[in-house]
Amino acid sequence: MTEDNGFKELYKFTGFITNRVLDGIAAGIQDVLALYPNTEKSYRKIFSIYVEIAQNIIFYSANRIEIPDDEAGYGTLTISEADGAITISGENTITESQKNKLSSIFDHLDGMSVDQIKAAYQEKMMSQFDDMDSKGGGLGYYDIARKTKGKIQAEFYERDGALQFKIIATIETKK
Amino acid sequence: MTENLSKGSEKTPSVDISGSDILIAGRSYPEDLHAFWDDIVSKLENKIQNCEVNKLIFDVSYHNSGTTRIFVNLLKFIEAADAVDVFEVIWRFDEEDEQTEEQGEDYQLFCKKASFKLESY
């Protein structure tokens, strides 16, 4: 565990993330967060955001390998705690086409109030999902925005000539 | 007599048909969404269409956004079914689980003709 200015890194995994990796970290999160009593009420939200972000890397990272009976997407998952809040971030390579879709979602969410995010989530849910390449049709990002009450950020940048996407979601856990 | 369509696991819910009731219980964030759900949904839709079932009970403590798409499509199918007027959907949630309660409220928006009840425990 590293600590910098009160920012405690609880988990950091970089590599090919598979469903078995997701399971292992999920079990660890449950055990480690039990040490932070203020996370008890928000544990379900933390878990669900973690699963959404981890599965996005597994299913959609543009840097992937074929393995038998599972999927493997390369990326970085980080879970940290600071001042009563848990931050979950995910980072992976994306294609230009994925960047356009993600930019559109985050531009839409940018600056929305909590009520506006709820309405946008419900509107997205009610509409026909039009992206058949996506399992959730982008709904997962609206869901994370709703659960974090808008404390969600997206960053796009280039590394070694490849487009990268980073999502940072923060859950306030203070009672 | 109970027909079991899925036994359930850490990542997948159990799905049972008991008499005219469908019960979906547990967690749903399968490794392969369509491999798990497509066949089950097809069987459920067939039974709904043939009026063999008239109640759908969700007792799901966590599901991912991919599963939301499956549930939404199932509710839309019920709304379009001939026997929708006598169909009942029940969404169960732990009274301390605000997240699952909110999700139930969202699904309620889809049920204009079918009865939809939120039940806490």
Q: Per residue in B51-87, pLDDT tens?
A: 999 999 999 999 999 999 999 999 999 999 999 999 9
Q: What residues of chain A have any CB closer than 8 angstroms to a CB in chain B?
A: 19, 23, 41, 44-45, 47-48, 51-52, 55, 70-71, 121-122, 125-126, 129, 135-137, 139-140, 143, 147
pTM, entire model: 0.91
Query: In which element (H, E) is residue B16 found?
Result: strand B14-18
Judged against a pLDDT cut of 90, whether residue A7 lies above it is answered with no
Contacts of B10 in chain A (CB under 8 A): 23
Task: Yes or no: say if A91 and A75 are a contact pair by the CB < 8 Å rule.
Answer: yes
Work out the angle between the directed axes of helices A114-126 and A139-147 (0-180°, nearest 10).
150
* Nearest-angstrom CA–CA distance, B44 and A118: 30
What's residue B1's pLDDT?
Answer: 81
Residue A49 has φ and ψ, to the nearest 5°, of -70, -40
Which is more confident, A42 or A93?
A93
Domain count, chain A: 1
Q: Residue A4: helix, strand or coil by DSSP?
A: strand
Task: Yes or no: say if A152 and A166 are a contact pair by the CB < 8 Å rule.
Answer: no
ipTM: 0.89
Give the CATH architecture of domain B6-120.
Answer: 2-Layer Sandwich (3.30)
The range of the structural domain enclosing residue A163 comes to 2-172
Where residue A25 sits, what CATH number does that domain have? Answer: 3.30.565.10
Of the residues B11, B32, B65, the best mutation for testing chain A's interface (the one with the most A CB atoms within 10 Å of its CB) is B65
Q: Per residue in A85-131, pLDDT tens?
A: 999 999 999 999 999 999 999 999 999 999 999 999 999 988 866 55
What's residue A126's pLDDT?
Answer: 85
Give the whole-number percent of chain A exceeding pLDDT 90.
73
What's residue A38's pLDDT?
Answer: 81
Who among B64, B97, B100 is closest to A52 (CB)? Answer: B64
Q: Residue A35: helix, strand or coil by DSSP?
A: coil
The ranges assigned to domains in chain B are 6-120
